[in-house]
A and B are shown apart, each in its own frame.
Chain A
């Protein structure tokens, strides 16, 4: 058994949460509320230390008056509570949206669209290595068929009839296989979390596993 009080607290709280698997009970409720309260407290301290203090208080104390401009813009968000001035909230929203879109749209186009089309194209180096599971021609073609058919499934301007219907049906198969993979990975993720908790309880707490 561990002699560390924090390990004990962590272990007992873990057990309290696990007790929900049987049914809802006060121990579970206590742990849940403790966690909610704790995270609220953590975030208050975090926001104060990482945003308010370094970006507002410190610059103002050091007479960097230019800080007042972004601060005023930020304060405009509170106009939401004054019905008469409600429309002014659009100013900070417009500024941040404008910055954000300008920054991310071209980059997203490059990373998500251009680069991905490039990656989907079959290239001649694949011809030398037809069955290679990573870079072979067959994999390249499979990816290409998957991309084209899935896009066809999510194409809304034509009725799914004739060849479009066939392609879209192939597409939905690719989508479902993708979901299957995600589902499988999710199972692994959840099981991993449980294993890690078990390792903690049986290694750090009661020292049963060496």
Chain B
């Protein structure tokens, strides 16, 4: 308490001294205009932290007339000398009590600030601020949390990839849609009709396409086993080549290279709607018992799924295109939603990279949920803990 009073007294002394030293402020604000509004007070200038220099943050106490809605905004003025000529550095509307002056001419040099309250008819100029110097920082401390979370996430993923590579079995739950895959292949075999597999219409660079191709490998193994005809139309030439290799390999692995039909994986066209109508035609003519639409889809999703539903096929779809998911969910029997597609691909292929990443993501999700629950509990029990968590999450 005593410290506070001493501090206040010191500030008062300083303010009086500053007023006496500066002729501009010695004259009361009324000199600038008719004294209708009071000027802002307590002007403080500090180097803007965590930046590349050339910036000073100015803050002030709002004019008491703001409550009466007499103030429109504040003009921030800068000068190299406390009693020199002040130039406009910026303007903020009422309600703001700070301004980052990003155009400070030189680093490491003293600058002074004044803030002018601008009303409808009159203005009021504040006292001069303390001197402040702009400087640059190499490290943005406000981003430490992002750094820590990136490092943490990377470490988690690396550990799991290493564990998967070393042959440890990592548990991933079976996804409901996957059970349907086997059933769907069985159904096509019984009916003596082909299976249609569309690996999306995007390029090989898309994660969803890669996931779709992984699952294609597993489906092809099943069709090889049961000797069910498989149809894989493609829109992208690179995806087409990869798909062809994958299917061929799957038939080899099962020991049925003789059953592999080179024309079962084919290239249709590069035009989006052209591809959709091409696949529509296949569905109408061949009447596949099962349709797979896995990978990246755009506006053609509904056209494909609708036609498929009309032919009476069992349809299994999966994509991470959020805007197409509603259409697949309404028109297909099973839909792998977003990450389920990646999970299904990791589950089936057991690829260490995919498994490790998926596990790493799971852990990160668990951490996020934990943070949320702690945050909720804390704000109910002790708001202080919540402030600490928010401080940790603060974004620079």
Contacts and interface: CB of A to CB of B under 8 A. Distances in A.
Given A110-B143, A121-B386, A179-B329, A156 B369 contact: no
Interface in A144-179: 144, 147-148, 151-152, 154-160, 175-176, 179
B337 to A, nearest CB: 7
B380 to A, nearest CB: 8
Interface in A174-207: 175-176, 179-180, 182-183, 186
A187 to B, nearest CB: 10
B139 to A, nearest CB: 13
A117 interface: yes
A105 B147 CA distance: 10
B99 to A, nearest CB: 24
Interface in B128-176: 143, 145-147, 149-150, 153, 171-173, 175
A109 B396 CA distance: 12
Chain B contact residues: helix, strand, loop or mixed: helix
B388 interface: no
A151 B393 contact: no
Contacts of B368: 113, 117, 151
Given A36-B271, A109-B149, A144-B372, A160 B173 contact: yes
Contacts of A175: 337
A114 B393 contact: yes
A109 B146 contact: yes
Interface stretch (B7-15, B20-28, B358-366): B358-366
A62 interface: no
Contact of A121 (B146, B172, B325, B376): B376
Given A110-B146, A121-B379, A122-B376, A155 B325 contact: no
Nearest to A172: B337
B372 A120 contact: yes
B242 interface: no
B150 A109 contact: yes
B150 A106 contact: yes
Contact of A159 (B173, B323, B338, B396): B173
Contacts of B394: 114, 118
A179 B390 contact: no
B371 interface: yes
Contact of B325 (A113, A148, A160, A179): A179
A151 B338 CA distance: 12
A183 B395 contact: no
Interface in A17-32: 32
Contacts of B95: none
Interface of B: 143, 145-147, 149-150, 153, 171-173, 175, 271, 273, 322-323, 325-327, 329-330, 337-340, 343, 358-359, 362-363, 365-366, 368-369, 371-373, 375-376, 379, 383, 386, 389-390, 393-396
7 contacts: A117-B371, A117-B375, A121-B379, A122-B375, A124-B379, A144-B376, A186-B326
Interface of A: 32, 36, 105-106, 109-111, 113-115, 117-118, 120-124, 144, 147-148, 151-152, 154-160, 175-176, 179-180, 182-183, 186
